[in-house]
Structure 1
């Protein structure tokens, strides 16, 4: 609503135009203020997708960090178990799945993954880094056992990022063979 400002006359009979310009300014602003009925809804529609993507991104990052931490602990346990195995590891590179463990190293990795509820297949690679210039042969004291555990089926929750990126979560550990 426009406020009515009465015209004032100066003592000499002339009109005080400052009151008239104030009245014109108030009336000029009123049509602009009347057309703001859907502004908040439009702003919400513009901002909400970015806000949702940000919140789901934080959630996905937390899940990824949880998986990476779990796999790092599983790789560490597997590397420790492989480093103290009574039977030497036969080949410089060993790979497999931890679904049905067959030796102490696989059991140690599987034990760390059981309580984590990581869905999908988890695979591992064991690499022997020989000491003293050797390239083949059974493992000896001083060799390094490097275990990599992979979770390739990590699924993002964020629908916008899911179509663009599908990460593989890794956990790695290296232990000296005893």
Structure 2
């Protein structure tokens, strides 16, 4: 008789446990979804920067085309693109910088950098990370042409 009395008192226990576990599982699932989206965004940025660096390595004097090449591989225009040759910023229509291109010849380094604020969509995750997470990608490559002048 005593055994049946305990079963009656614990009737809703499994339902309460299930409700608590479901909340934690959904929070973990939300985090996995946002991390997956963030990884996809990072890989997209890296591939676009690599495309731009490869283009700038062959055509270092065409900054606008390099920036356009990067932007064509991105889903929207909410990215900051910076192209620099041998440590000096490249003049382009996208950045409105007036720094002229110097030393754009073989053996010099080209850097394509991308910055973007990733928007966190899951509300419980944004409590810990904030509404956005800054992302930065930088790809370095060596210019392959034209040959450098050997004259001083």
Normalising by the smaller structure, the TM-score range is 0.7 to 0.9
In structure 1, C-alpha distance between the alignment counterparts of 2:119 and 2:23, rounded to whole Å: 20
Note the 1:53-92 alignment, pairs <5 A.
Answer: 53-85=27-59, 87=61
Do 1:73 and 1:171's aligned partners in 2 also have CA atoms closer than 8 Å? no
User: CA RMSD of the aligned region, Å?
Assistant: 2.2
Instruction: Deviation per CA, 1:71-109: give whole Å up to 9, x if none.
Output: 0110011111222225277xxxxxxxxxxxxx1101110
How far apart are 1:139 and its partner, in Å? 2.5
Secondary structure of the corresponding residue to residue 30 of structure 1: helix
Do 1:71 and 1:172's aligned partners in 2 also have CA atoms closer than 8 Å? no
Secondary structure of the corresponding residue to residue 37 of structure 1: coil
- State the partner residue of 2:97: none
Secondary structure of the corresponding residue to residue 157 of structure 1: coil
In structure 2, C-alpha distance between the alignment counterparts of 1:107 and 1:140, rounded to whole Å: 21
Do 1:129 and 1:144's aligned partners in 2 also have CA atoms closer than 8 Å? yes
Do 2:48 and 2:71's aligned partners in 1 also have CA atoms closer than 8 Å? yes
Residue 150 (1) aligns with residue 93 (2) = no
Residue 30 (1) aligns with residue 16 (2) = no
How far apart are 1:41 and its partner, in Å? 2.3
In structure 2, C-alpha distance between the alignment counterparts of 1:70 and 1:88, rounded to whole Å: 23
In structure 1, C-alpha distance between the alignment counterparts of 2:60 and 2:121, rounded to whole Å: 43
1:86–1:155 Cα change, 3 Å: closer
Number of aligned residues: 129
Segments of structure 2 that go 5 or more residues without pairing to the other structure are: 88-100, 145-152
Q: Give the number of the structure whose alpha-carbon radius of gyration is greater.
A: 1
- Please list every run of at least 4 consecutive aligned residues from structure 1 whose deviation after the TM superposition is greater than 4 angstroms: none
How far apart are 1:28 and its partner, in Å? 2.4
1:173–1:50 Cα change, 3 Å: same
1:124–1:86 Cα change, 3 Å: closer
